[in-house]
């Protein structure tokens, strides 16, 4: 598992990773200093891990960028509340992610996305053309006078 951070998440991620390593768990950390251009070896580093966890203090923009650019399994843990992550919170999140990778259920039940005011479900995809309900007996209005007005 690679824990990837950017910006203000450096301190809490470093403390959490250090604590987990001291307890014998295998977890790596990388921190981006800039996003454009990405560091030259980013693709090689990301592809060398089965899973990437990206704790973010926003709606998950970095994970979207990483997934879209490098096509890797990057999981986002987001928190939008105006307060930084605590290292204890990230220890719990990282340990649960490691347990999931090893096929072991995390202690204390399922871990939810950390956002207090953000829904955890992904938005529904746009409906396909054959899924959009079209009323068969309603004619299309022929009045076009408002178009040229």
Question: Lowest-pLDDT range, 62-76, 78-92, 95-109?
Answer: 95-109
Provide the whole-model pTM: 0.69
Return d(Cα 48, Cα 40) in angstroms, integer. 15
Q: H/E/C letters for each residue in 88-125?
A: HHHHHHHHHHHHHHCCCCCCCCCCCCCCCCCCCCCCCC
Per-residue pLDDT, 103: 77
pLDDT digits (tens, 9 = 90+) for 32-46: 999 999 999 999 999
> Over pLDDT 70: what percentage of the chain?
69
pLDDT digits (tens, 9 = 90+) for 1-44: 999 999 999 999 999 999 999 999 999 999 999 999 999 999 99
Per-residue pLDDT, 34: 92
Contact indicator for 34, 111 with CB cutoff of 8 Å? no
Residue in this structure with the two tokens 């928190």, named with its chain if needed? 79
Return d(Cα 102, Cα 25) in angstroms, integer. 11
């Amino acid at each position: 598992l690679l824990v990837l951070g950017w910006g203000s998440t450096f301190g809490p991620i470093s403390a959490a990773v250090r604590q987990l390593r001291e307890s014998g768990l295998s977890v790596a950390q990388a921190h981006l200093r800039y996003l454009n251009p990405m560091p030259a070896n980013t693709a090689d580093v990301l592809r060398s891990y089965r899973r990437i966890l990206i704790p973010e203090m926003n709606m998950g923009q970095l994970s979207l960028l990483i997934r879209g650019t490098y096509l890797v399994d990057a999981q986002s843990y987001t928190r939008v509340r105006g307060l930084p992550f605590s290292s204890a919170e990230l220890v719990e999140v990282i340990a649960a992610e490691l347990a999931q990778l090893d096929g072991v259920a995390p202690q204390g039940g399922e871990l939810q996305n950390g956002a207090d005011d953000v829904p955890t479900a992904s938005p529904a995809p746009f409906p396909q053309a054959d899924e959009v309900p079209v009323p068969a007996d309603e004619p299309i209005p022929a009045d076009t006078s408002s178009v040229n007005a």
